């Protein structure tokens, strides 16, 4: 394996570990509200970072590893049913938006990603419970998605704007 | 071109925030007081009771999945559930809002509805 590839693989491994750690730690915090699905979602900082500085394939790998391992370590594996589709759609949408707008608006892209993620989880939940009542949760989730999306989005945005060049140089 | 993008994104996020706030306010402060409590298991209505009943405990048991719904003081709540996250129990009471109490792992949904005229048939 070439030196370049080894570097990338190691980097992906480290990022996956970072995302997993953030995820598990966050899961230990007491729930802010009883509404299912409202979290800080800080692990998405890593996902966005991967989309901004690495390839979509690597971002997907990191996400997949984090979600699967996270479900095993910190949550019931049943949460996978909701996190996986949510995470995948979120990643796809964010990937396309970054391709169109670049990283300058990653704070907004993060919000859209969070909203997509939450709505996907609601859709899965409504299929599981076979009711549509669950969509009453949509407005609070939209609000929390917007707020947490801005939080994580601005964190990555700051990285991109201030250290973008440095990071790209290091990763190369 | 750059300024246009900026405007697009600010407006988009603004709309999402607005819809979130407005929608949440609308949901938690509805105009009509709900009359009935409906309990669904796995998508099917299993019990329907008036919200102003005397203190009632309704167990919803199916093999290993246990939930106990309580109606008291014109409010419904999930008193007990044997699911791993117990988010449904922590949710507290619903008395005015349209949001249901949901136990996702056990597939139980407790919903308040407008009135007896809402449903055509009720299984008891």
Q: Which of A36-40, B30-34, B67-71 has the highest mean pLDDT?
A: B67-71
Name the residue facing B20 among A101, A131, A146 (closest C-beta).
A146
Average pLDDT over residues B109-114: 81
Question: Which residues in chain A are contacts of B92 at CB distance < 8 A?
Answer: 34
Is the predicted pLDDT of residue B119 greater than 50, yes or no?
no
What residues contact residue B102 under an 8 Å CB cut-off, 6+ apart? A36, A125, A129, A134, B88, B108, B109, B110
Average pLDDT over residues A78-85: 84
Query: pLDDT band for position A154 (50/70/90)?
Result: very high
Q: Lowest-confidence range among A19-28, A104-113, A117-126, B88-97? A: B88-97
Q: What are the tens digits of pLDDT across the range A45-76?
A: 999 999 999 999 999 999 999 999 988 887 77
Q: CA-nearest residue of chain A to B106?
A: A129
Is the predicted pLDDT of residue B115 greater than 70, yes or no?
no
Using alpha carbons, list the distances in angstroms from residue A24 to A31, A52, B37, B109: 13, 23, 37, 28
CA distance B52 to B73: 7
CA distance B101 to B92: 9
Q: What are the tens digits of pLDDT across the range A85-139?
A: 999 999 999 999 999 988 889 999 999 999 999 999 989 888 887 777 778 888 8
pLDDT at A45 (0 to 100): 95
A69: how many CB neighbours lie within 10 A of its CB? 16
Question: Which residues in chain A are contacts of B99 at CB distance < 8 A?
Answer: 35, 136-137, 140
pLDDT at B18 (0 to 100): 92
Name the residue facing A146 among B16, B104, B109 (closest C-beta).
B16
Q: What are the tens digits of pLDDT across the range B19-40?
A: 999 988 887 776 677 788 888 8
pLDDT at B96 (0 to 100): 74
Question: Which residues in chain A are contacts of B27 at CB distance < 8 A?
Answer: 136, 139-140
Average pLDDT over residues B41-48: 84
């Amino acid at each position: 394996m070439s030196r370049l590839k080894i570097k990338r693989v190691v980097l992906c491994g480290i990022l996956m570990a970072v995302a997993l750690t953030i995820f598990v730690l966050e899961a230990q915090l007491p729930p802010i509200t009883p509404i299912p699905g409202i979290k800080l979602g800080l692990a998405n900082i890593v996902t966005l970072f991967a989309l901004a500085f690495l390839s979509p394939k690597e971002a997907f790998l990191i996400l997949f590893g984090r979600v699967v391992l996270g479900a095993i370590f910190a949550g019931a594996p049943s949460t996978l049913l909701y996190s996986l589709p949510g995470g995948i759609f979120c990643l796809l949408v964010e990937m396309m938006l970054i391709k169109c707008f670049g990283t300058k608006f990653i704070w907004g892209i993060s919000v859209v990603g969070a909203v997509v993620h939450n709505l996907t989880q609601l859709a899965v939940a409504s299929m599981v419970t076979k009711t549509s009542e669950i969509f009453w949760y949509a407005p609070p989730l939209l609000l929390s998605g917007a707020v947490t999306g801005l939080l994580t989005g601005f964190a990555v945005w700051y990285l991109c704007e201030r250290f973008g060049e440095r990071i790209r140089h290091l990763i190369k | 071109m750059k300024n246009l993008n900026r405007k697009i994104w600010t407006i988009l996020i603004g709309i999402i925030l607005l819809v979130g706030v407005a929608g949440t306010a609308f949901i938690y402060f509805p105009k009509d007081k709900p009359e009935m409590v409906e309990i669904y298991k796995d998508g099917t209505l299993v019990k329907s009771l008036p919200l102003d009943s005397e203190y009632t405990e309704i167990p919803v048991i199916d093999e290993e999945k246990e939930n106990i719904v309580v109606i008291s003081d014109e409010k419904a709540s999930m008193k007990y559930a044997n699911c791993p996250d117990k988010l449904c129990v922590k949710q507290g009471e619903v008395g005015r809002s349209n949001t249901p109490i949901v136990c996702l792992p056990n597939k139980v949904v407790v919903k308040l509805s407008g009135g007896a005229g809402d449903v055509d048939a009720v299984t008891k």
